[in-house]
Structure 1
Amino acid sequence: MSSGNQTSLCSEAEKDLGVPVLEGWPLGSTVFALCLALLLATLDTTIISTSLITIASDLGHFDQSSWILVSYLLTYSGFLLIFTRLSDVLGRKPMLLFSILMFLVWSIGCGFSQTLEQLIVFRALQGIGGAGIYALAYASVLDVVPFRLVSAASGAISMSTACASLLGPVLGGVITSNTTWRWVFWINIPCGVLVTICVAFVFPNRTGTRTLGRATLQKIDWPGILLSLTGSSLLVISLEQGGVQFSWRSLFIILMLVGSSLCFIGFGAWEYVLTPREAKMKMMPLFPTRLVSSRVVAATLGTVFFTGFPFVVTIMALPQRFQIVNGDTPENAGLHMLPLIGATALGAMLTGTITGKFNIAWHLLVFSNILMTIGCGLMSTLPIDMQIAKICYFYQVVLGFGFGLTMASSMVVIRTEVALKDNTVSLGAVTQMRQLGGVIGLAVTQAILNGNFRSQLANFLSAEELKAVMLSTANIETLGTAHKDLTCRAYGRSANAQMRVVTAFAGAAILTSIFAWQKAPRDRKALEAERVALQTGSPTSVELYSTCVASIGSLRSRSVNTTPNSSRPSLVQRPSSAEVSVCPAEFSPPPYLTVPELDGGLSWALHFSDW
């Protein structure tokens, strides 16, 4: 059978099953729009790193400049799960359009900001749109891409994320060095308009769109949303302001931390009560607690939380170090980070290739965290001289390779552990945990860096000079030659202390990842058959005919069987006519829908009891 005929048969089978299928230019345009939208949202998490000092020098208050990033990451991480669930209720397309427009409008607002306070507020609103784009781009791939092309489309989406991380610091440095920093945000306008047009006119309308009404709004987990956002906000505010504006022992910080703890405890309790009663209460839990009932899923979520610390802190702190300690321009600071970002992208791509051939995602997860910890430790020993040591680039490669491996392998581990109906929310949970870890890590380590830096400067600077430097590091240039050199070296020592703290959290990721050991990880190819089963709209799963499997040694294909109570798939062997004779008499092979040549020459069989 020719390749064209095989493709046609696969497409027709998917359409018969009710799976939304795009072909030709609509498919290419939709995937392109999703990739471009994801690139913009991810770009804004890193593009600011090489522009932060310039922005703080222009608007003032360097000691509060980290809020430019923290405010974005706070809403970005806080709304990932929320948009995932809202799209399940209200539909992918309307929520994706809302996210893109939200991101675009407030990007314009960021560029017109006149004070640091305005920029922080607009960045927080921009982060809401960015969260929706990130969460829904991945979810939409599973909705509109033919399942024979899901792997290729997912690869394109992953490459967009990697390229955004790669281009962010470099592009931010180039823009800041050659024009106003405001174009860091205005650059989103032309690309955002193009994405909006593609989604509005090409993206299919049939991917879960719902009519807005009282019954629809009742499905939204409003208590979960309120508790989750409040808890995250109070936690990050307390960590960012502690040791800077308020003492760690002040009543304000204590109340913030206590309030955050109570919100998270209340969130967990509410989701625990809601999850088994979602059908009765007609409300979809924001985070189904059945996910963490699995040791592997719980350990993986804990791992990505700890890996968020070194990733976000390094991306933000390293370009600042290059500019302050080594005297780099923002553009050169971005270019000197290419080994780190390039190794991250390479590690992510290699993980996809390796796990596609070998079922060793957990092994890669543990190895990557070990590599990441070693890289963090090496980065904490960087010289504090003005000249950038060449060994720094090797350290970046080690650290970046660990980043790429752990980010991709954690996704694979989660994907092979949860049922497909929970795939979108589990993906949102992984991303949210990583971002939340990064926000907390950045707030904690920035407070440590500021405190360490301030205490060193107090030994040789006057009160006025100290205040000026903490207000903006650009004022270092106004110091005398001797004090300028001492100040730069002091910042280098503080940055190394910051990385030692990060190394400790990376070590915690190693310990947590060990508990994510998988006894029998599912074959990733079976997930494609499960997707078809889910798209039929009935509670379909794949059940193992254990007595038959014991008698059959070779796997010819897999089947999908409906049971009323199961939501977790497992593999099924479809026996040949010769093999049926060795099966127990009570085993009756079900009727099959055969999709010829779906994958690697195998014939995949799909069985539905409601057919």
Structure 2
Amino acid sequence: MGEDIPSRDPPPEAVDKPSDEKQPREPIQTPVIQPEEPQPGALTDSTTTTDEKHLGPQSIPRLRFIALAAGVSLGLFLSMIDSSIVATSLFTIAAEFGDVDAINWVALAYTLTYLSCAVLFARVSDVLGRRAAFAAAYVVFIVFSIACGFATGMGQLIAFRALQGVGGSGLYSVSMIILPEVTPDRAKKHIAALVGCVLATSGVLGPVLGGVLTQYTSWRWVFWINGPIGGVSLLVFLLAWPKKEHLPSLERRAWKDVDFVGAFLLIASATLIVFPFQHASTSPTWTSAVFLAPLLTGLLSLAALFAWQALLTSRQKKTNPNNPNRQTAFALPPALLRNRVYAAAAVHTLLTGFPYLLCIYAFPVRFQAVYGASPLRAGLLLLPMLVASASGTVITGAVNGNPGRKQRFFETLMAACALMLLGCGLEVMAEPVGAVEARVLGFLVFVGLGFGLSAAGATMLTSAEAPVWEHASAQGIVAQVRIFGGSIGIAASSAILGAKTRGELAGGELPPEALAHLASDPSALSPEQWGSIRRAYTDALREDMIVCCAVLAAAMVVTLGIYRRNRVSLQEMMKQRYREEGERRRAAKGGSGQQPDGSRDAAV
């Protein structure tokens, strides 16, 4: 028999019987427990366990956090800037090595490996830990950056750039994982603005820095400069890494959990889809086997990737249905793809990356070929776009990051698409004259502002939408698709320019040696040859902008998938993710009879 629970009203005996107490006895009340004031990053759920409280970011000492953020952000900056720093150095490199046809591969070799390995590095960080993965990526990046500076031929330079891109990919994806994980909730809007600012400014500042180094020193310093700066940044990162008690509780994965087959298919599909578009810049036809074979193979690899992920999901449900703690570390997690908002944000990121990187590469080339600008001036002309990009990231943090205010990710990303579409559309109507017009630069401001909104907004949304146990892969996927879209943009621009150049060559107005003179000695060109070159580059850029408008229109349609009727603040969304992770771990404990691994060493 259970113990009787006293009622609120006293029994009759208590009324009739005299009491020795001076005051009448109060009825037993159910105590009301007042919740404690939540600390930044803590959970407010009454069922929160001790382990669950450590799922979110902890209180890192201020100076250590600032140093850590600086070290990680500088690594992210170096990896991003190297995807665009060669934009104003390509002509000089082509002149030294005497190879104009292969010059774009100096850029594409980096971006292909850069985009291909992002998700793989994210998964490696789940096994080795964030610190070890970031440090390893930094070492690879620094070593092959220095090797690029010592290259003695075009083939050697392209090979070293590809290996440099592997390290850059790790810096990019692991940075996007570390910063949201270690940042307290109260500072998330500032870190999101910082990340977006780095993404936006590095792309525009790259051509500027590349132009300065190429014009006043040597193009080799474009690569050598990563050595001393990267070495200092890596040292700061290692010294500032927080102690265990200041890190969130994350679960380590085993090597056997990593989906290497899926990672291979992802790398193959990304590389093979981009390759034929780049080759189309020199290929005489779009129907050649060199174009169709890799493209079809890449698409088949992508289809095989989705089929493989479905097979792994089915196998997981059969072999281990009650213990989600031991799920396979998917290369492309189905749980993320089933999240409509996250999936739409990922596609939005891919589509907005296309025009941004295209502009970063195409406009400096136009400024040099059409307006006769020096490499330095060609880079400096992108500064208005740089300032606008930085402003967009700050606006995104202010609109979506304030505690107690509902997030507006849908409006932010939709405005990003609209601004970029406006800028590219206006560039279509800009006619070239003898000097760079202010309106050409003004139109780029819209593109930069839109990309700033998109980069910061997508980063913040990913942190809020992705489950804690898939946070690394979620950020890795967003990082990879942004570069994937940009790589396709660069390749498409090269293909269009190649087609226009071949048209001028076929017309007899532009002899083949004129392109070599354009890189090595522009003064050797006749006025008629200059006219043909300007016409080819101008027509190519106009077609580039038309294609960008079509891509951005599609991005606006996709962004509709981000809309949610009932919205809460970013902080409430993060707390919900932590509660879900706590429930997942408790379910795993009940299903296996063992406590799931909650070691904080996963981030060490």
The verdict on a shared fold, with TM-score over 0.5 as the criterion, is yes
Which residue in the other structure is 1:401 paired with?
A: 449
Q: Which amino acid aligns with 2:85?
A: I
Deviations 1:487-506, CA, capped at 9 Å, x for gaps? 22332222222222222212
| 1:79 has 2:125 as partner | no
Cα distance in 2 for partners of 1:10, 1:368 equals: 30
Give 1:419-498 correspondences, 5 Å limit. Answer: 419-461=467-509, 465-469=511-515, 473-498=519-544
Which residue in the other structure is 2:598 paired with?
A: none
Cα distance in 2 for partners of 1:532, 1:299 equals: 23
Alignment CA distance shift 1:201-1:402 (3 Å) = closer
- 1:166 and 1:345 in contact (8 A); partners too: no
- 1:445 and 1:498 in contact (8 A); partners too: yes
* Bigger Cα displacement from structure 2, 104-113 vs 135-144: 135-144
Cα distance in 2 for partners of 1:402, 1:329 equals: 28
- 1:91 and 1:210 in contact (8 A); partners too: no
Picking from 171, 183, 186, the partner of 2:224 is: 186
Alignment CA distance shift 1:120-1:529 (3 Å) = same
Which residue in the other structure is 1:366 paired with?
A: 414
Picking from 501, 518, 525, the partner of 2:564 is: 518
Alignment CA distance shift 1:531-1:385 (3 Å) = same
**Partner SS, residue 570 of structure 2:** coil
Alignment CA distance shift 1:208-1:228 (3 Å) = farther
Determine what percentage of the aligned residue pairs are the same residue: 29
* Bigger Cα displacement from structure 2, 315-324 vs 500-509: 500-509
RMSD of aligned residue pairs (Cα, Å): 3.1
Alignment CA distance shift 1:17-1:363 (3 Å) = closer
Cα offset, 1:323, TM superposition: 0.6
Q: Which amino acid aligns with 2:156?
A: Q
Alignment CA distance shift 1:11-1:502 (3 Å) = closer
Cα offset, 1:282, TM superposition: 5.4
Alignment CA distance shift 1:277-1:92 (3 Å) = farther
| 1:69 has 2:117 as partner | no
Which residue in the other structure is 2:163 paired with?
A: 125
Cα distance in 1 for partners of 2:334, 2:68 equals: 33
TM-score, scaled relative to structure 1: 0.80
Cα distance in 1 for partners of 2:578, 2:186 equals: 11
Picking from 395, 406, 410, the partner of 1:350 is: 395
Cα offset, 1:114, TM superposition: 1.6
Q: Which structure would you say has the larger Rg?
A: 2
Which residue in the other structure is 2:601 paired with?
A: none
Cα distance in 2 for partners of 1:7, 1:55 equals: 61
Which residue in the other structure is 1:336 paired with?
A: 381
Cα distance in 2 for partners of 1:11, 1:418 equals: 17
Cα distance in 2 for partners of 1:231, 1:209 equals: 34
Q: Which amino acid aligns with 1:115?
A: G
* Bigger Cα displacement from structure 2, 492-501 vs 73-82: 492-501
Cα distance in 2 for partners of 1:30, 1:128 equals: 23
Runs of 5+ consecutive residues of structure 1 not aligned to the other structure: 1-5, 541-561, 567-611
Cα distance in 1 for partners of 2:88, 2:111 equals: 16
Cα distance in 1 for partners of 2:314, 2:518 equals: 53
Which residue in the other structure is 2:263 paired with?
A: 225
Alignment CA distance shift 1:367-1:271 (3 Å) = same
Alignment CA distance shift 1:370-1:163 (3 Å) = closer
Deviations 1:35-68, CA, capped at 9 Å, x for gaps? 1111111111221222222222222322322211
Alignment CA distance shift 1:486-1:130 (3 Å) = same
| 1:244 has 2:282 as partner | yes
Alignment CA distance shift 1:220-1:332 (3 Å) = same
Aligned residues: 535
Cα offset, 1:211, TM superposition: 13
Deviations 1:253-300, CA, capped at 9 Å, x for gaps? 322122111111111111222246558485311110121213222222
Cα offset, 1:164, TM superposition: 2.3
Cα distance in 1 for partners of 2:233, 2:81 equals: 15
| 1:529 has 2:575 as partner | yes
Cα distance in 2 for partners of 1:563, 1:343 equals: 47
- 1:218 and 1:282 in contact (8 A); partners too: no
| 1:504 has 2:542 as partner | no
Picking from 73, 86, 93, the partner of 1:35 is: 73
Which residue in the other structure is 1:554 paired with?
A: none
| Larger RCO (CA under 8 A, 6+ residues apart) | 2
Deviations 1:367-390, CA, capped at 9 Å, x for gaps? 221221121111122222221112
Cα distance in 1 for partners of 2:138, 2:327 equals: 29
Give 1:283-322 correspondences, 5 Å limit. Answer: 283-322=328-367
